[in-house]
Amino acid sequence: MAEKPLILVTNDDGINAPGIRTLIEVMNQLGDVVVVAPDSPQSGMGHAITLYSTLFADPVKIDNGPQTEYSCSGTPADCVKIAIREILNRTPDLCVSGINHGSNASINVIYSGTMSAAIEAGIEGIPAIGFSLLDYGHDANFEPSKPYVKTIAEHVLKHGLPEGIVLNVNIPNLNKEAIKGIKVSRQARANWVEEFDKRQTPQGKDYYWLTGKFVNLDGGEDTDEWALENHYVSIVPTQFDLTAHHFINDIKNWNLND
């Protein structure tokens, strides 16, 4: 393309998180970067949008990079919407979300604010990628992620993505030498077995904290969980047509109109 690509960057851990700082640094090597990201952590927000509250989106300057940045009071999906409709002068060539502090592999994609931002961009026809590192810590080491983030973003800028598909990229928490490469995978079947931590308020009223244990129910060697456990970066092409097309005829055979 004649001009530099326009890249929209967002996340769900908030605009000050180390993960998005790394992502901005890499994207500055590939194009003109505009950041519109939540002003506070939004993990576990799924595809929430703000219907009953006002939204703020304020210009901010956080580091010395060449990017333009806005801090937004909304969810990750809100950030993408407001960026496209109010902040950017043209449709971006790429939207990247992350780098998330923690896994968005397997069933985690459903709960992920990071991926909801990528999906929101995908709904708008923008090639989009969510990146996650399998380390929940604030002091996670994002260095080994950089070459993978750059390579995958370059390929998406070059090839584009078909309508209706975004990429879910998860990176194992390993040093550079230990990562074996990239595997294109499918979403593993897994769930969380919640363990609610039941407590009492000082006034004697029951309340709960949601905690849980991740359980991989899927032994397939073509899954994202397998790739990550075997030291590969996983890419799952992810769609937002949720129709279970293969089951349509089965329901028709229920003869619901009889």
Instruction: Please report, as residue ranges, which positions from 9 to 48 form the binding site for a second copy (by CB under 8 A).
Output: 41, 43-48
Q: Position 206: which residue type?
A: D
**Beta-sheet strands, E only, within 57-104:** 57-60, 68-72, 94-101
User: Closest separation between CB of residue 64 and a second copy, Å?
Assistant: 26
Among 2, 175, 203, 254, binds a second copy (CB under 8 A): 254
For residue 13, say whether it is annotated as part of any ligand binding site. yes
Residue 213: enclosing H or E segment and its boundaries? strand 206-216
Alpha carbons 111 and 137: distance in angstroms, whole number: 19
User: Closest separation between CB of residue 66 and a second copy, Å?
Assistant: 24
Alpha carbons 18 and 99: distance in angstroms, whole number: 8
Q: Does 78 bind a second copy (CB under 8 A)?
A: yes
Q: Does 62 bind a second copy (CB under 8 A)?
A: no
Instruction: Please report, as residue ranges, which positions from 89 to 148 form the binding site for a second copy (by CB under 8 A).
Output: 107, 109-111, 116, 119, 123-124
Q: Does 210 bind a second copy (CB under 8 A)?
A: yes
User: Is the distance from CB of 152 to CB of 183 less than 8 angstroms?
Assistant: no
C-alpha triplet 88, 89, 91: angle, nearest 5°: 75
Mark residues 158-197: x for contact with a second copy by CB under 8 A, - for none. -x--x-xx-xx------------xx-xxxx-x-x--xxx-
Q: Which stretch binds a second copy (CB under 8 A): 16-24, 72-80, 88-96, 128-136?
A: 72-80
For residue 32, say whether it is annotated as part of any ligand binding site. no
User: Is the distance from CB of 215 to CB of 190 less than 8 angstroms?
Assistant: yes
Q: Does 150 bind a second copy (CB under 8 A)?
A: no
User: Is the distance from CB of 132 to CB of 170 less than 8 angstroms?
Assistant: yes
Picking from 101, 26, 99, the residue whose alpha carbon sits closest to that of residue 65 is 26
Q: Does 221 bind a second copy (CB under 8 A)?
A: no
Annotated binding site for a divalent metal cation: 12-13, 43, 100
